[in-house]
Structure 1
Amino acid sequence: MDGPPPLLLLLCLLHFSHNRNLFTQRMCCKRQSHFVYIGQDISGSPVSVDVGVCRSHCGRTRTGPSPEAGQEDYSKHTSMLEFLRSKKTRMRRPAAPSGLEPPNQLPSCGASQVCEPAGMRVERVLLFEGPRQVEVIQECQCEIKLTQCMRVPALRTYYAKTPYETVIDAGGCSRSKGPPEGFSCVPTKFDSALIQTPNKVELIQTVLACELKESCSRVKHVDYYYQTVQHADGVAEKRLKEIDVGRCVGSCTAGKRCLLRSPTNPEICYLWSEGQSSSCVPQDYESHSFQDQQGQTRTVLSITSCSCQS
């Protein structure tokens, strides 16, 4: 019996190689644990959340303790100082020889792709100072690396695993950077979406468009007000007044750093510190005065410029 034609054999080999590469990408671009300390709960106990991180490298085996183990150890201590002292004592043990570490391998997503979150869920955590929303990565996948500034889909799941579970495309901006130093792809147009919650209807802000701007900059944001205009003949006319109140968008360096790393794998961080916060806030403003529907003088402030401040 004759064997398969050479062309058919070549196609089978190509199909097998393609499927193997896809399998490798999906297995290597995956979510890994990444715990972040967010504060204390109403009982005073420390609260850390596994927000996750997308890793795109293959072949690296974890020889030290897992982040989950570090999280369990941390929850047993009453203060962060006690936790760090305990970890410092454990880190004095001799580390494994560097020769046992497997060699680094190439990224699984390829040169034209990046390992990005494929879905996020928004968790609500009740802290001592009040409720807080935390975005948690659900899964990761290889995405095409964008070189232009544009709006990209960003799925957010609210009230997951409840009767009120809702998935919204909140939108985001690509991570492309502009040629001038200090420019970033930031949102410039916004919209809103309504979701049903156990207590009330909640308004969620979504991103409509993005532009390449300075990392901290002002964008247009219009609000409408009712204005009463008094004419010379004594007739009062009601008009709709439009004011560009502005909005500050962009990011500022927050000084985030790792407080405690794995003694055997420096890429693993057990505890992060947010450091001194720096946010993009209004720097200059101007006032707009007018008469409202009741004839009372109302003053609205609008942002004219923004800057990074601690």
Structure 2
Amino acid sequence: MFCVYGFLLILLISVLVIAYILNLFTERACCRRQSHIIYIGKDISGSPVNVDVGVCRAHCDQSVRSASLEAGLRASKYSSMLEFLRHKKMRRLDQSSGAADSISGSPSCGLSSTCEPAGMRVDRVMLYEGLREVEIIEDCHCEAKMSRCVRAPSLKTYYSETPYETVIEAGKCVGSKGAPEGFSCVPTTFDSTLIETPNKVELIQTVAQCKLMEGCYRIPYVEYHYEITYNDDGVKVESLREIDVGRCLGSCTSGSRCLLRSASDLGECLLWAEGQGNACVPQDYESHTFLSQHGQIRTVLAITSCLCQS
């Protein structure tokens, strides 16, 4: 009898382990990087530059099945690529009605996780206007949802595939579940780290602290100025004055950023524009007036609030 119970226990543990492995495989297979092409400008020759920055998709059950089906079709009865593509197009039209059901279903990462980037690469692209940094998703994984706004680790690779390749922990802000409308988890305090480059040592900004803020928000930005004052005896005193002049950060949504849509499916965007149409700019300010080191009256303006402006 003991042997029977022992066998059943081992069998149960084996089933649980296999189920866990299959679930883990499903999560990895259905949280994956997919193509997301954006237009970032023109190069020095005047040609348009499109970059595949990638996107993490959580609802990819149907995509995984389609990929395996296509692999089978290629090795099956179709004698030409034209015949295969024609069949593929007809199959997509038939599946269009079922796509909505797939999207509305349970996310592949589960209710407690989201499909997020696992690693980013920062590429520098030379455009007509100058050098441009573009962040590109390299891989995706299922990441636990956070109920509060916190700073989470985030790896970024600079100068990829060169002798100066460097990976830094740049940090990111996660967790906006239950946040009021118009608010999101954003960086409010920054740090920096040095990396070696072919031309010089470069300072890279990293996220130090996150808070729940509106889409367009003000962050502290401190400047120091020498100030001349006179004490009660008329003696000149030189001191250091700290002024928080502030900066405006965040994004302002403005309509659709889609530049090119699919002819067969208007809901599918083939090419996205980078950035937003509106700017987050200073709304209110205050002035700080003092006597400079050279005895001249100096006025410094400090931002007190920000807003979105077309």
TM-score by length of 1: 0.81
Instruction: Determine the structure 2 residue equivalent to 1:99.
Output: 94
Q: Which runs of 5+ in 1 are unaligned?
A: 64-93
Deviation at 1:152, TM superposition (A): 1.7
Q: Which moved more, 1:187-196 or 1:131-140?
A: 187-196
How far the C-alpha of 1:232 sits from its partner, in A, is 5.3
Structure-to-structure mapping, 1:98-177, within 5 angstroms: 98-100=93-95, 104=102, 106-177=106-177
What aligned pairs does 1:118-267 form with structure 2 within 5 A after superposition? 118-231=118-231, 233-263=233-263
Task: Give the superposition deviation at 1:160.
Answer: 1.2
Moved over 6 A (4+): none
CA contact (8 A) 1:177 1:185 kept: no
**2:10 aligned partner:** 8
What displacement does 1:150 show?
1.3
* Distance in 2, Cα, partners of 1:244 & 1:238: 20
Query: Greater shift after overlay, 99-108 or 3-12?
Result: 99-108
Secondary structure at the aligned position of 2:18 is classed as: helix
- 1:36 aligns to what? 38
Judged with a 3 Å threshold, the aligned counterparts in structure 2 of structure 1 residues 266 and 152 are, in CA distance, closer, same or farther, namely: farther
Instruction: Encode CA deviations 1:87-146: one digit per residue, 9 max, x unaligned.
Output: xxxxxxx95253356762642211111000011111110001111110000110000011
Structure 1 CA distance for aligned equivalents of residues 240 and 108 of structure 2: 56
Q: Is the counterpart of residue 271 in structure 1 residue 266 in structure 2? A: no
In 1, Cα distance between equivalents of 2:89 and 2:28: 31
- Cα gap change, 1:276/1:165 in structure 2, threshold over 3 Å: closer, same or farther? closer
Q: Which residue of 2 aligns with 1:52?
A: 54
Residues 41-50 or 103-112, more deviating: 103-112
| Matches of 1:125 and 1:277, distance apart in 2 | 22
Q: Deviations over 1:27-59 (max 9, x none)?
A: 221111111011110011111011001111212
> For 2:264 and 2:67, how far apart are their aligned partners in 1?
8
Q: Does the C-alpha gap of structure 1 residues 123 and 275 become closer, same or farther in structure 2, counting only changes over 3 Å?
A: closer
Q: Secondary structure in 1 aligned to 2:90?
A: coil
Counterparts of 1:240 and 1:211 in 2: how far apart (Å)?
30
Identity rate, percent = 59
What is the DSSP-based 3-state SS (H/G/I as helix, E as strand, rest coil) of the residue aligned with 1:252?
Answer: coil
Shift of 1:226: 2.2
User: Which aligned pairs between 1:21-32 and structure 2 lie closer than 5 A?
Assistant: 21-32=23-34
RMSD of Structure 2 on Structure 1 (CA): 2.8
Aligned-partner SS, 2:62: coil
The structure that is helix-richer by fraction is 2
Q: Given residue 277 of structure 2, which amino acid in structure 1 is its aligned partner?
A: S
**Alpha-carbon displacement from aligned partner over 1:167-216 (angstroms, at most 9, x marks no partner):** 22222211515543222222221222222222222222222111112222
Counterpart secondary structure, 1:9: helix
Name the CA shift for 1:282/1:274 in 2 (closer, same or farther; >3 Å): same
Unaligned runs of 5+ in 2: 69-87
Offset at residue 269 of structure 1 (A): 2.4
Greater CA deviation, 35-44 or 290-299?
A: 290-299
Higher mean displacement: 201-210 or 44-53: 201-210
SS in 1 for 2:259: strand
* Matched position secondary structure for 1:96: helix
